[in-house]
Amino acid sequence: MKCSYCNRNAVYFQRYSGKHFCKKHFINFFEKKVRGVIKKYEMIKSGDVIAIALSGGKDSVTLTNFLLEQYGGRRDLDFFAITIDEGIANYREKTLIVAEKVTKALGIEHYVVSFKDNFGTTLDEMVRVGEKLPCTYCGVMRKYLLNRTARELSATKLATAHNLDDEAQTILMNFINADIDRLARLIPQREQEGLVMRIKPFREVYEKEVVIYGFLKGYELIFDECPYSELPVRAPIRDFIYEFEKEHPGRKISILRSLEKLSDCLKMTNPQIDLKRCEICREPTSQNICQTCKLISELSGKIAVKYCKSLVYNRKPRL
């Protein structure tokens, strides 16, 4: 099959648009699309210090390379990477090595922040004794460490590699759970003290397209899945959206657009509230005790866990 834009052979067929792309035109499409999204949502502004959440998995490796290649030459921007080591045996070690290599090659600083150093124990241990699902501990505590590290290192933005598939799953899951508060939090709102503003440059491109772009650009991508990723919660929703998209291409983007159409209404029904400070760790929270400290309280007595009173990472602060 030939590319829809030139005479070369196509490497990718985009079902929702009916277009075929050769390598060159796919790379052009992807870069233009993502740069357009960054501009549309004003994700990057002059003077920004951007912390990149780099797990070392395929999506975040592609994001880190993309941001540095596209924006790294700008003198009014600064970048560094943060990797959270949750302590997931036979998985995180490999992605940590990749993250180290990527940051070295790109010449940016790399901070590794572990559950073990900051909470006294690993995710594997929490899962062994705790009653919650692994992704609950992981999601809450990783977000906590990412925000706290980015803020302590003076970042103005925290970039994550969430793609259209992730966004569509989250939106639908919140609908299904009637969790409208969480749904409202997906809409970019005003800045809040203590929280570094999160940006998701890949939010309008398919996971598949992120991988194809990374592959065509020759980045080192590893495809290992977290051993906990197949546990129930997200998997059925992911599979449902996959099947639906197969029959009706373009539905993932419609899910995102539906949220955007509802955004004004959600801002009225669920206005952003001013955050308090957690009574234990002083991090921003909507309640008296933050989610992370609540999880630590539940686990204490079962394993040696600790509240994160001051952050520990692998190198001296950059500033």
The only residue of 106, 135, 195, 197 in contact with ligand SF4, by rule CB under 6 A:
135
* Among 13-21, 94-102, 223-231, 294-302, the segment contacting ligand SF4 (CB under 6 A): 223-231
* Among 14-22, 120-128, 145-153, 310-318, the segment contacting Zn ion (CB under 5 A): 14-22
CB closer to Zn ion, 234 vs 294: 294
Residue 61 sits in the site that holds ligand SF4 (CB under 6 A): no
How many whole angstroms separate alpha carbon 100 and alpha carbon 13?
33
Segment holding 62, helix H or strand E = helix 58-71
CB closer to Zn ion, 5 vs 244: 5
Pairing type for strands 109-114 and 78-85 reads parallel
Binding mask 240-279 for ligand SF4 (x = CB under 6 A): ----------------------------------------
Angle between helices 164-176 and 251-269 (to 10 degrees): 50
How many whole angstroms separate alpha carbon 295 and alpha carbon 126?
10
Q: Are 305 and 87 in contact (CB under 8 A)?
A: no
Binding partner at 135 among ligand SF4, Zn ion, none, C-beta below 5 to 8 Å by kind: ligand SF4
Binding partner at 134 among Zn ion, ligand SF4, none, C-beta below 5 to 8 Å by kind: ligand SF4
What is the nearest approach in angstroms of Zn ion to the Cβ of residue 281? 3
How many whole angstroms separate alpha carbon 97 and alpha carbon 124?
19
Kindly tell me the burial class for residue 115, based on how many C-beta atoms sit within 10 Å of its own C-beta (0-12, 13-18, 19 or more): buried
Q: What distances in angstroms separate CA 250 from CA 167, 180, 204, 244, one per listed residue?
A: 14, 24, 11, 9
How many whole angstroms separate alpha carbon 156 and alpha carbon 275?
18
* Among 97-105, 193-201, 225-233, 261-269, the segment contacting ligand SF4 (CB under 6 A): 225-233
The only residue of 139, 236, 250, 317 in contact with ligand SF4, by rule CB under 6 A:
139
Residue 299 sits in the site that holds Zn ion (CB under 5 A): no
Size of the site for ligand SF4 (CB under 6 A): 7
Reading the block at residue 258, the tokens are 């539906």
CB closer to ligand SF4, 14 vs 114: 114
Residue 228 sits in the site that holds ligand SF4 (CB under 6 A): yes
The only residue of 138, 164, 186, 281 in contact with ligand SF4, by rule CB under 6 A:
138
* Among 132-140, 203-211, 263-271, 276-284, the segment contacting Zn ion (CB under 5 A): 276-284
Cα end-to-end span (Å), the chain: 53
How many whole angstroms separate alpha carbon 104 and alpha carbon 302?
39
- Which positions lie near Zn ion, rule CB under 5 A? 3, 5-6, 8, 22, 25, 278, 280-281, 290, 293
- Which positions lie near ligand SF4, rule CB under 6 A? 134-135, 138-139, 226, 228-229
